[in-house]
Chain A
Amino acid sequence: MAIMTIRDAILQTLHAEMERDPDILLLGEDVVGGNGTAGGPEAIGGIWGTSGGLYAKFGPDRVIDTPISESAIVGAAAGAALAGKRPVAELMFADFVGVSLDQIWNQIAKFRYMFGGKTRCPAVIRLVYGAGMNTAAQHSQSVYAMLTAMPGLKVVLPATPADAKGLLTEALRGDDPVMFFEHKTLYGVKGEVPDGDHRQRFGEARMVREGGDATIVTCGRMVNFSEKAADKLAADGIGCDVIDLRTTSPLDEEAILDSVEATGRLVVVDESPPRCSLAADICALVATKAFSSLKAPPELVTGPHSPIPFARELERAWVPSPQKIEAAVRRVLAAG
């Protein structure tokens, strides 16, 4: 086991997998950086620090700086995947999915089904997402629910360095398109990462802690917030199951249902607006498959039905907080 950040876990996994598999190529804006400047290639090494050294090691045919052209970046990944390669395309901000949506939604997600199961499109789209840096309405969104709703895509959201390695490795060895979400505030989070080959199967949630009184289902940055809330509640003798989904498509329904059947109380924490959200989806799952286990109405902790604001005070009010999660758990325990 080595201790490293999520940033380094991603970078090292890219190095290792590109070494292992010559069909993997990386493309995106400034993934090399400095091309066409006096500073030269790799003057930047990726603005998130997740592609340093790749260009020097694997060269310009496999590590490709692109113009600011998100439709073409994602579309090129689609084409390279159809042509037998394993492209990794980086969207510097997940919000730019808006610019490239057709290539994801109508193309990548649908190829295999439309073409009668005769094709594979193993494109990995890396999307840097989430609020917490006051980057305002067009650079802060968590668009995983929208992509989870699209049949044909797998949607992955690591919350720990170990999962960053395990899930990215799995994405690069699988044959389906994967939307790989990296939370911009989590890159510096440190943790143990297994040495050598480490694959984390999709659709296997992580039981972060077991408490038995209430179930908190969450993902991404909200895992850590939920743990903080669970710590506070534990001091009052309230035990929470905290479930990190790891992947929202496929979804580990069993882990959710098993926990709710034991606790009877559900809180879903989701860093997005509430309508047609992951939170609403999980609630629907539990309502349809574990209704009789519920001792209280579920609580959804989400942002409001609004874009994400800039000012610190407003962004803090928008994002679910440990305090809001704690209050929601107390409400589900008080009800029924």
Chain B
Amino acid sequence: MQLSREELVGAYRRMATIRQFEERLHEEIKTGEIAGFTHLYAGQEAVAVGICDQLSVEDMIVSTHRGHGHCIAKGCDVKAMMQEIFGRAGGTCKGRGGSMHIADLSVGMLGANGIVGGGAPQAVGAALAARLDGKGRVAIAFSGDGACNQGTTFEAMNMAVVTKAPAIFVFENNHYSEHTGDAYAVGTARDIASRAEAFGMKAWRANGCDYFDTYETMRELLDHVRAGNGPAAIELDTERFFGHFEGDPQRYRGKGELDRIREERDCLKAFRAKVAEAKLLDPADLDAVDAEVAALIEAAVVEARAAPAPDPATVADDVYVDYY
């Protein structure tokens, strides 16, 4: 399927936004101003964007502790996200959640999650709710090669098959669950998709460092699910450019590994090369997008730094809707 010029520029803009957001956080965290744990998504942009570009705002996603990319791809406000990560009152979740718990239900982003495997069952429920509404919406659970080992994920996949829920299990295999390799921790190393198949759903495999492969494969998958065939799964082979969390010394990496994956497996570089080769976009246009994104990220950081902290008196607000 041929994407329009606007679609291509938009895809690049969203991927570049995620990349620059994360690269900037990597620097900002060193200043000590950002508290808590931050898990960066850089390297996996083609997955979040290649998938979410084909969703409507009514479709729903549940995310992981490494959720910034899913949030941006699904349409969360970048400046509000930055404020959330800085722990500001104007953040997406009023500074209560932080990096690991960004959610914006108004754009179908049902929440990042600090519990590995916490999200997959929720996607099944969201999918059952969507079916009840009868508008053809789907619900997607993003999981990694870590969450694929949780019982919750297994239960969710079986229940989705049994209930024929329009749920989609996206497995982003970045080859590390925290500090352990998928060659050790995943019994079906580099073939998580076969687990989904064993539960009785159709599964696809794609290169998660290639926007176009992700997009095309996901298009087939979405057609299958939206046609009422029940759940489906996709495993994407991708890369994590940073550590498990910021501050992780990454002693588990091979010599030169980080340089190699940035050289050979960078989805932004691959995107630029493909659109230039096919003469679809002028590199100068993409440079201009990079500059616009840089200005947005700079403004987001400047505003977040200056933004007011939450009022300590509000610490126990919002626990309930009503409490009586």
B251 touching A43 by the CB < 8 A rule? Answer: yes
Report which of B116, B146, B151, B257 forms a contact with A72, defined as CB distance below 8 A.
B151
B281 within 8 A of A: no
Known A306-B319, A309-B315, A311-B87; contact A136-B309, beta-carbon cutoff 8 A: no
Tell me, yes or no, whether A207 is within 8 Å of chain B by CB. Answer: no
Q: Contact check, A310 vs B36: say whether CB atoms are below 8 A apart.
A: yes
- Indicate whether A311 sits within 8 Å of B95 (C-beta atoms), given known contacts A67-B177, A134-B87: yes
Contact segment of B11-19, B54-62, B183-191, B220-228: B183-191
What separation, in Å, do the CA atoms of A79 and B113 have in the docked complex? 30
In the complex, identify which listed stretch (A114-122, A147-155, A314-322, A328-336) lies at the interface while the others stay far away.
A314-322
Q: Give B219-265 interface residues, CB cut-off 8 Å to A.
A: 251-255, 257
Other-chain contact of B116, A44, A68, A304 (Cβ < 8 Å): A68
Q: Cβ of B194 < 8 Å from any Cβ of A? A: no
Interface residues of B in 54-87 (CB under 8 A from A): 87
Q: In this assembly, does B125 line the interface, its C-beta being within 8 Å of a C-beta of chain A?
A: no
CB pair B178–A306 under 8 Å, yes or no, is: no
Q: How far is the CA of A306 from the CA of B316 in the complex (A)?
A: 5
Given A68-B116, A310-B36, A138–B316 Cβ distance below 8 Å?
no
The proximity string for A residues 291-326 relative to B, scoring 1 for CB distances below 8 Å and 0 otherwise, is 000000000000011110111111011100000000
Residues of B within 8 A of A304 (CB): 315-316
- Contact of A36 (CB < 8 Å), options: B37, B113, B183: B183
Q: Flag if B98 contacts A36 (CB, 8 Å).
A: no
The size class of the interface chain A forms with chain B is 35 or more
| Partner of B254 from A39, A311, A316 at Cβ < 8 Å | A39
Q: How far is the CB of B263 from chain A (nearest CB, A)?
A: 16
CA distance A138 to B39 in the complex (A): 15
Cα A39 to Cα B115 with chains together (Å): 26
Smallest beta-carbon distance B141→chain A, Å: 15
* Interface positions of B from 98 to 122, Cβ below 8 Å from A: 98, 100-101, 113-117
Interchain nearest-CB distance for B32 vs A (Å): 11
Q: Quick one: CB contact mask for A259-286 with B, threshold 8 Å, 1 for yes?
A: 0000000000000000000000000000
Query: A136 near B312 (CB under 8 angstroms)?
Result: no
Q: In chain B, what residue has the closest Cβ to A307?
A: B319
B200 within 8 A of A: no
Residues of A within 8 A of B (CB): 29-30, 33-40, 43-44, 47, 65-72, 95-96, 98-99, 133-139, 304-307, 309-314, 316-318
